Chains A and B, each alone.
Chain A
Amino acid sequence: DIQMTQSPSTLSASVGDRVTITCRASQSVSAWLAWYQQRPGKAPNVLIHKASSLEGGVPSRFSGGGSETEFTLSISSLQPDDSATYYCQQYSTYPWTFGQGTKVEIK
């Protein structure tokens, strides 16, 4: 199975900061990677698919990049509403796998 490793596990930043989360795959997943945001008590919501394609309705401050084994999710100007846990997920090879999550907190 492909292992997905996110860093950091927790991130604390101020409103307006640029933040970046990294996701590494144990083998190449090409660009078949998605990012999700999950607020407490809610179902996850997809932000990005195919590594860098922004889902409709997702604010443009979110962006994704990378390919093969290294990927990033960036938030250009952190907003209070962005306080959540973020997960990457590969859908290149079955079984699909998620990262362990990155909790983003607002200072």
Chain B
Amino acid sequence: QITLKESGPTLVKPTQTLTLTCTFSGFSLSTSGVGVGWVRQPPGKALEWLAIIHWNDANHYLSSLKSRLTVTKDTSKNQLDLTLTNMDPVDTATYYCVHRIVGGGLDYWGQGTLVTVSS
């Protein structure tokens, strides 16, 4: 059974750096075709894809966040980290960790974690 769970701070101040961890089970990020990534959703707004990293280390980021966003994987720990620098109130959102197999959609989602950016 595939599960993903996000963890990290729920409140960060403007200009601070956000680090979220996705801990997953039921699959390995070293298995061919597997990808894990992040999607966020501001309160009351639409989903926004942020980034994905694949089993072969191929990674892709949302263009507008590329200078602030880093995603790293630790295959041995079954974890994926998201780092977003210089946080702003517009980054307030629920952040979801997601799984996919090449060729398919985002087939498993974490429960999401709400991160609020406020002084």
Determine if B49 and A49 form an interchain contact, defined as CB atoms under 8 angstroms apart. Answer: no
Q: A89-B49, A98-B46, A99-B46 are in contact. Are A49 and B104 (CB under 8 A)?
A: yes
Determine if A96 and B49 form an interchain contact, defined as CB atoms under 8 angstroms apart. Answer: yes
> Is A97 among interface residues, defined by CB-CB distance under 8 A?
yes
Q: Which residues of B contact A91 (CB under 8 A)?
A: 100, 105
Which residue on chain A has the smallest CB distance to residue B4? Answer: A43
Determine if B106 and A98 form an interchain contact, defined as CB atoms under 8 angstroms apart. Answer: no
Q: Which residues of A contact B26 (CB under 8 A)?
A: none
CA distance A35 to B49 in the complex (A): 14
Number of interface residues of A (CB under 8 A): 24
Determine if A89 and B109 form an interchain contact, defined as CB atoms under 8 angstroms apart. Answer: no
Determine if B46 and A34 form an interchain contact, defined as CB atoms under 8 angstroms apart. Answer: no
> Is A36 among interface residues, defined by CB-CB distance under 8 A?
yes
Determine if A43 and B62 form an interchain contact, defined as CB atoms under 8 angstroms apart. Answer: no
Report which residue of B48, B105, B109, B111 has the largest number of chain A beta carbons within 10 angstroms of its beta carbon: B105
Q: A44-B47, A89-B49 are in contact. Are A94 and B60 (CB under 8 A)?
A: yes
> Is A55 among interface residues, defined by CB-CB distance under 8 A?
yes
Contact with A along B96-116 (1 / 0, CB 8 A): 100010011111011110000
Which residue on chain A has the smallest CB distance to residue B100? Answer: A91
CA distance A45 to B108 in the complex (A): 8
CA distance A87 to B64 in the complex (A): 21
CA distance A87 to B112 in the complex (A): 17
Determine if B107 and A98 form an interchain contact, defined as CB atoms under 8 angstroms apart. Answer: no
Determine if B48 and A49 form an interchain contact, defined as CB atoms under 8 angstroms apart. Answer: no
Instruction: From B61, B62, B104, B105, give the contact of A36 (CB < 8 A).
Output: B105
Which residue on chain B has the smallest CB distance to residue A101? Answer: B46
Q: Which residues of B contact A95 (CB under 8 A)?
A: 49, 60-63
Q: Which of B73-109 contact A (CB under 8 A)?
A: 96, 100, 103-107, 109
Q: Which of B35-52 contact A (CB under 8 A)?
A: 46-49, 52
Q: Which 9 A-B pairs have the closest CB atoms?
A: A34-B105, A49-B105, A43-B109, A94-B60, A96-B49, A98-B47, A46-B105, A49-B104, A95-B62
